[in-house]
């Protein structure tokens, strides 16, 4: 895993979906949200609403955001790829406070490797 993280932060696209991650401390809903986020491809983004729809709970987009804030494996479970329909949305990334600059750095790093612009670029709060 360390080698894959080094590759990722060097700018190489890495698929972390094959790693077995322990989510047993979370509710079934939270586990479903985090597992579904693992299917969002490198360099792509989806909205909280789209993620809620993908798990079959189209009105639960705020609960989706709360589940993402509990992500115990930032980067491995790419919650930074989930954005608001009107901006970047939030990001805890394993930190106690929101770190939107780190989220934008990850999105821009992935964009630079794929050429796919993250939806949230125009709404970068920095």
Catalytic positions: 79
Q: Tell which residue, 31, 30, 48, has the closest CA to residue 91.
A: 48
Cα end-to-end distance, the chain, whole Å: 31
> Alpha-carbon distance 70 to 113, whole Å?
28
Q: Tokens 């989510």 identify what position? A: 23
């Amino acid at each position: 895993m360390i080698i894959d993280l080094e590759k990722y932060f060097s700018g190489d696209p890495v698929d972390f979906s094959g790693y077995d991650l322990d989510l047993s401390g979370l509710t079934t809903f939270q586990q479903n949200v985090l597992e579904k986020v693992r299917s969002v491809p490198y360099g792509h983004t989806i909205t909280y609403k789209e993620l809620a729809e993908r798990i079959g709970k189209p009105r639960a987009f705020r609960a989706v955001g709360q589940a993402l804030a509990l992500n115990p494996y930032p980067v491995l479970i790419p919650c930074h790829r989930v954005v608001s329909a009107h901006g970047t949305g939030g990001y805890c990334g394993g930190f106690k406070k929101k770190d939107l600059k780190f989220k934008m750095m990850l999105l821009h790093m992935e964009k630079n490797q794929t050429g796919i612009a993250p939806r949230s670029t125009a709404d970068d709060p920095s």
